Each structure stands twice: as C-alpha cells, then as structure tokens.
Amino acid sequence: MAYMVNPLTYWIGKYILRIDKKIKFFSMPNILLNYELVPEFVQSKARPDIIADKAIEILKSQKRLDNKKLLQKLGNPPVLSKIAGKIIDFINKN
C-alpha cells in the first residue's frame, strides 16, 4: 500500500495531531490484524523503485500472505458481496 498526501497535511498529521503515535498502520488488512500483512509505503517511501524492490523480493521469495486471520476477521466468503449488500441496505434505508 502506498500513501502520499500533501506535505503540509502530512506535517500537520505527524507533528500536530501525532497520528503516527496513535496508529501503527494505515491499510485495513494491517489495522485489522495489528501486524504488517501487506507492506506500507508512506510519503517519501512511496517511490516506484522502493515499491518495485519490495514486490520483487516478495515474488522471488514466493512469500505467501497469511490471509487466514484476515478472512476470519472479515467473515466467510463471499465477503465483498456481503459488504456490498450491507452498503445497499444502508442506502435503501436512508
């Protein structure tokens, strides 16, 4: 996951709101599991060369992402259709 925001927004979040002290991760899989399942690249680390190097490293090592814990948190498949159904129900009620 790569995240880049306006430098002023990043500075406010980091130094005034202290977001980096309150949350460890930005991506939903990592937040749900409370560990880094997927690599995160924020601001200056969200560069194509850094991301490509990490992707190649993962592909070469044939590292498999352990998504069993994530799936347990999200529920049984088909998760996306369940989430979509809940969103549609919410929209129809409002």
What is the domain partition of the chain in residue ranges?
A: 1-63, 65-94
Q: What is the pLDDT of residues 56-84, one digit of tens each?
A: 888 777 555 556 666 676 666 677 777 77
**pLDDT bucket at 22, cuts 50 / 70 / 90:** confident
**What are the structure tokens assigned to 78, written together?**
């088909």
The average pLDDT across 40-55 equals 93
Angle at 48 between CA 12 and CA 61, to 5 degrees: 115
Query: Percent of the chain beyond pLDDT 90?
Result: 24
Amino acid at 32: L
